[in-house]
Each structure stands twice: as C-alpha cells, then as structure tokens.
C-alpha cells in the first residue's frame, strides 16, 4: 500500500529539484555539496510532509528549508575566508568602466537579508509573497529589501554614474 502523499511528494521533488540545486549551488559554489544540500532539503521536507499542501506555499517552504540547510553548514565551523579581503580589493580597484566585475564578490558585499531576498527572486523565481513566507517577514519588508538590494548593486557596480545621477536629481 503506497504511503499517503508519496506520489504528490515525488511530483514536488521532480518540479523543484533543479531550481533548488541552482539556488544552493549559487550559495556554496560546490556541485557535490549543492547536490547533498538538495537531498537534505527533501529529506527534511519528507519528514514534515502533510497531505494535502497548498501548491503555492510548497515552493517557498522548500526554499526556506534549503536556506536553513545551507546555514547549518556554518553553525559549527567558521569559513577560513577573510571577509574584508574581497572588500579591500574591490575598493582599491580603479573605477574603470571596462573593468570586469566579479558579480559574486559584489553580491557578497550586500547585507545578508538583501542578498537572500534577491537570490530567492532571481534564482528561485519566488514572488515577494513567497519570499516573505520563506523568510518569516512581511511582503512589504521583502519589497523594501529587494529595492534596496538593487540600488546597492547599482551603486557597487557603477558608483560614478550613480553619483552623477543623484547629483542631477534634487
């Protein structure tokens, strides 16, 4: 006799596994680790699976689990990377518009709340409401974070142009 909800859960796995992998790979930049995190995400989701589930809430719920699984990696060990090293390199770089910018480094300069919301929207394809549910906040707060994240990215990627635009606007 099949387990209740097993077929529905298998559909969810097929529907969201690739999206979760892309999101987690962006966070950890390690293919094997991202695959393991996807497996852990679905293992935790299965333990808490209740049938039926609101289809729209499932995606946000899975992303929240995935984000927590990634964060759990760093609970006991601290990364060996000096967080100021990348900032110093970016600040010391000449303001040449032709200079290639490592988007990952720029994303790393954003506050975590802004970065998480933006990644969930861009890589995960979540709506503001879904991000709010996954992050445990309001939709208005998510929209504010997304707006501030985009503004901060513009400032980091093209500071001279942003400064001249703000001077022109009273």
Q: How confident is the model at residue 94 (pLDDT cuts 50, 70, 90)?
A: very low
Q: Which residue has the higher pLDDT, 82 or 92?
A: 82
Provide the mean pLDDT of the chain: 77
Percent of the chain with pLDDT over 90: 23
Tokens (6 digits) for 11? 């559909």
Residue 84 has pLDDT above 60, yes or no: no
Look at 1 and 31; give whichever has higher pLDDT: 31
For the cut 70, the answer to whether the pLDDT of residue 165 exceeds it is no
Q: What's the pLDDT tens digit per position in 118-160?
A: 888 887 888 888 888 888 889 999 999 999 988 888 888 776 6
Q: What are phi and psi of 81, to 5 degrees?
A: -80, 135
pLDDT at 92 (0 to 100): 43
Structural domains for the chain: 1-80 (1.10.1740.10), 82-170 (1.10.10.10)
pLDDT of residue 97 exceeding 60, the answer is no
Mean pLDDT, residues 8-18 taken together? 91
In terms of pTM, does the model score above 0.85?
no
Count CA atoms within 13 Å of residue 5 on its CB side: 14
């Amino acid at each position: 006799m099949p387990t209740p909800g097993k077929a529905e859960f298998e559909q969810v796995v097929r529907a969201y596994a690739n999206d979760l992998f892309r999101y987690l790979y962006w966070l950890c930049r390690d293919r094997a680790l991202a695959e393991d995190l996807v497996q852990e995400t679905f293992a935790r989701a299965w333990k808490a699976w209740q049938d039926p589930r609101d289809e729209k809430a499932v995606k946000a719920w899975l992303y929240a689990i995935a984000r927590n699984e990634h964060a759990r990696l760093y609970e006991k060990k601290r990364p060996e990377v000096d967080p100021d090293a990348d900032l110093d390199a970016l600040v010391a770089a000449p303001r040449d518009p032709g200079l290639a910018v490592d988007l990952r480094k720029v994303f790393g300069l954003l506050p975590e709340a802004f970065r998480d919301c933006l990644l969930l929207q861009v890589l995960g394809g979540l709506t503001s409401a879904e991000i709010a549910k996954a992050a445990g906040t309001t939709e208005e707060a998510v929209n504010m974070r997304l707006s501030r994240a985009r503004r901060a990215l513009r400032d980091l990627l093209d500071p001279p142009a942003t400064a001249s635009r703000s001077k022109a606007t009273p």
